[in-house]
Structure 1
Amino acid sequence: MKFSVLVAIVPEDLEQPAIDAARELDSGGITILSGRGIGNDTKKTFFGLSYDGSQSVLIMVLEKGLSLQVLKAIQSIVMPQETDSKGLVFTLPLEHLGGIDMSQVAKFEQHMKETL
């Protein structure tokens, strides 16, 4: 079985909808980190202080086929229209993996059987 790492960087207000979308597809565990980013746009200022906004970084280890489904689900949340992106989601291939709960592997295998 091949695995991927899915990383989604979303505004804090879209964190829960992104988690819900991943959970609906039986994504398993999700690691959530807080972050800040610097974009290409000029920042909003208030009395000379800039405000970039907070972001959440969601990290998931998924079966390769499931990772594409979760990516598309989260993409529809962070990019509801083709020109208006509010986040970023991508996957990376995972070569080596240790410490994954075997019950999660069984869930991935069951999901694969159901989708085939």
Structure 2
Amino acid sequence: MEILFESKNQARGAFRTSLPGLVIKITGRTGAYSVKDFSVNGLAFSSGKEPFNVDEQFEIEFILGKKVLLSNLEAKVVRDIGDGLMGCVFVDLDKYQEERLDKLVLEVQKRMILLRKKNGACK
């Protein structure tokens, strides 16, 4: 039996997920930026009207509600997707940060599966 996982856009090469209400705070900038999706390799966020440049690098933290989920992550803008959406990759993550990101993605996947089962999508 062969199992294939395909995605329309594999630019990040990892499973992407989203979490409603997840934002990032960027060191040196005010406010929070809504996260469209993220993976263990990177994220896409809405920059609003603030300008960001390709190759710009900064430190971020993931925040959900009032809770900091991950901090001290280095991210680098790799493309301006358009409509204020910026694509980033994570840079120089240590083993602990990689494990935490992996765990966060896995937890979101588990919750999505449970919700689908609860709503009758998986039988």
The two structures have a TM-score, normalised by structure 1, of 0.29
Q: Per chain length, whose mean CA-contact separation is higher, i.e. which structure has more relative contact order (CA < 8 Å, sep 6+)?
A: 1
Larger proportion of helix: 1
Task: Pick the structure with greater CA Rg.
Answer: 1
